[in-house]
A and B are shown apart, each in its own frame.
Chain A
């Protein structure tokens, strides 16, 4: 005999669904009330609630950009996003390398190395990043020669506290062809890499992946360069009066923000790396020693591959923190996206909408970084053979 069905108000499935619906309605109501209140109050104060401001002229020029004052707010914000991106693209690899070095250094058997790494971590991670940025700007960058009389070491650089120029290159005729040749070489190089890896796995012969792949790319690059005939020219920055011609340039404020945040974030990364290495079972190191691997080989082939797998998820947090901390650049006047957004607000664009746009920009950054790291993470997890 089947037991009698309980009444529906005691049916767990029904109850769960009902609770979910109530919660949904509750959340919806709160969101609606907040939204309604904001729009109503804004309208009552005669403040617009639409996003047309994106097409309004931004009105001012931006440091390090050719944007005219008549360019729309949209273009200015995109310029800000690019600057934030520049801070990120340069900063993340640097802080990762620095963080791993310091993290490994903390565990070094060398007393001096381990103490230096400890001091590095303990000082940098216990200072507010804002303080570091202001120090890097006022204490380091501003101490460089003033913009009216820059230093020109070796004739290769033009350095002032306003901006730094380094040698760069300029595209010449046949630049596109050269780039496609190098791109093709890179693709073939990747294939060679894969092939050498297989050779090693099947025969046990040393793979020499780096030598094979890079050698190929270098050979193709040199041949393409000679065949096409100077598709790129190296340019040195030349100072005439106040104008610097040629080379690449970076604003002083950029280096202040990037340097300070790389130092700050790398101290956190170092701790993650140290913890991850210590999380690798001691037996692994002992087994590696038993196989007569050298200290470097133990680290490179046994410990780090396992440790970095543990380190990856918490690293996402540090990367995201770095990106969000770039908003502190506003104090030293580097035109990243937050500065542009607040500039827009100060010049009469509606604050709520600008802030929402700004939040969307940071959300986009964070989601993209999470996505990339998660893809890595998944790949690393399935490599177990």
Chain B
């Protein structure tokens, strides 16, 4: 689309127009920019007792020159999202946005501002997303994006904690009788362009003759699929489930084939070079997971004021009494202590986010499977909050 050409050109010029100041932050490389805050309590002293000695300051946020300061000054987080995949990022008919990825955008806003609505959603196509991220049009990309080595390395992006473990599948019409990939020989297969899906398709079908039809919008792709231009539609299985749930002829007109032919870990990504910002996004995701482990939910998070559990007290920013005095745990991420409480109040824990958007009671009806907590045999695992 011509628009896209313009957008990409604009991105080039934006890069050109970036000031030297922006340069200095991006060239920092390995050094974490949080080091200059000087407010960190030791998160690594071992044991469950709170760090001795100096008490933490409550106003932990000292404006630096990183993206956090910029976002705080702006008053909202710009979040690159999808608006065409039900369950992950979808623009409803009434103009509201909903989805798994959308909730994580809200969680980031809640962590920084205490307000889940302080988000500016920037809808992006698969092709635009990295250019938009590089050019600084968005602060964080949460758009069912697969974490791969070349994207991490070559796109100037840094991928963070995986929020959803997905795999690629193939959807066909139920009346086609196709059951295995080989049945699709000599047919056309619809795929979204600029995705890992497209690359995996080429790899999986290397010995099967097929015609790839690439579209850059899910809507047009769906039209082509409905009209029977292509016999197969390949994408991440979760996305296919979303499309199937909202299919005009009803979900039973389509089947998603058994085979999963790729690993698709989906997660947020930020621009290279600002490790403080990356850590914040990382820990927002981690906190939702820890909350599920600890049984904290959006409904009960304010009932823990008297809990003895130190991990919960740390998470919720409650006072911790020890021999040395009273402290409030501050992980030193540059956020107000107790920010996880805002996140959990706003969007709930990981399980709640999953069930609300894609879980068994939603039209997508996905099971947790790989996305169950590690304690229940899944891959969802977070480092300790201490």
Contacts and interface: CB of A to CB of B under 8 A. Distances in A.
A355 B15 contact: no
Interface string A334-377: 01001100110111101110010010000000000000000000
A348 B134 CA distance: 12
Nearest to B191: A60
B187 to A, nearest CB: 6
Contacts of B213: 63, 162, 253, 333
A146 interface: yes
Contacts of A147: 187-188, 228-231
B44 interface: no
Interface stretch (B99-107, B146-154, B277-285): B146-154
Interface string A4-44: 00000000000000000000000000000010011011101
A46 B220 contact: no
A351 B8 contact: yes
B73 interface: no
Interface in B155-191: 155-156, 176, 185-188
Interface in B22-46: 22-23, 26-27
B1 A328 contact: yes
Contact of A47 (B154, B195, B228): B154
Interface stretch (B200-208, B257-265, B336-344, B373-381): B200-208
Nearest to A36: B16
B156 A148 contact: no
B156 A130 contact: no
Contact of B187 (A45, A242, A339, A343): A242
A300 interface: no
Interface string A116-146: 0000000000000010001001100011011
A243 B150 CA distance: 37
A252 interface: yes
Contact of A37 (B15, B203, B212, B227): B15
| Size bracket of the A interface | 35 or more
Scoring A40, A63, A137, A346 by chain B CB atoms within 10 A of each residue's CB, the highest score goes to A346
A107 interface: no
Contact of A46 (B15, B153, B188): B153
A64 B22 CA distance: 45
B211 interface: yes
Interface string B328-360: 000000000000000000000000000000000
Contacts of B368: none
A62 interface: yes
B199 A347 contact: yes
Contacts of A332: 215, 220
Contacts of B186: 241-243
B229 A161 contact: yes
A327 interface: yes
Contacts of B231: 147-148
A142 B229 contact: yes
Contact of B15 (A41, A59, A130, A348): A41
B382 interface: no
A352 B15 CA distance: 10
A253 B11 CA distance: 29
Given A143-B227, A252-B229, A342-B193, A348 B150 contact: yes
Contacts of A40: 23
A332 to B, nearest CB: 7
Contact of B126 (A330, A346, A352): A346
A138 B223 contact: yes
A142 B199 contact: no
Contact of B4 (A45, A61, A342): A342
B224 to A, nearest CB: 7
B244 to A, nearest CB: 19
B46 to A, nearest CB: 36
Contacts of A46: 153-154, 156, 272
Contacts of A47: 134, 154-156
B120 interface: no
A142 B223 CA distance: 8
B202 A355 contact: no
A130 B3 CA distance: 11
A355 B9 contact: yes
B216 A330 contact: yes
Contacts of B151: 348
B131 interface: yes
Tell which of B216, B229, B271 has the most Cβ of chain A within 10 Å.
B229
Nearest to A253: B213
15 contacts: A41-B22, A42-B15, A45-B26, A60-B198, A60-B201, A134-B220, A138-B223, A142-B223, A147-B230, A160-B229, A162-B230, A327-B2, A333-B215, A338-B5, A346-B195
Interface of A: 34, 37-38, 40-42, 44-48, 59-64, 69, 130, 134, 137-138, 142-143, 145-148, 160-162, 241-243, 252-253, 327-328, 330-333, 335, 338-339, 342-343, 345-348, 350-352, 355, 358
Given A34-B16, A339-B216, 6 more contacts: A148-B228, A162-B213, A327-B2, A331-B1, A342-B193, A345-B194
Interface of B: 1-2, 4-5, 8-9, 11-12, 15-18, 22-23, 26-27, 126-127, 130-131, 134, 150-151, 153-156, 176, 185-188, 193-195, 198-199, 201-203, 205-206, 210-217, 220-221, 223-224, 227-231, 271-273
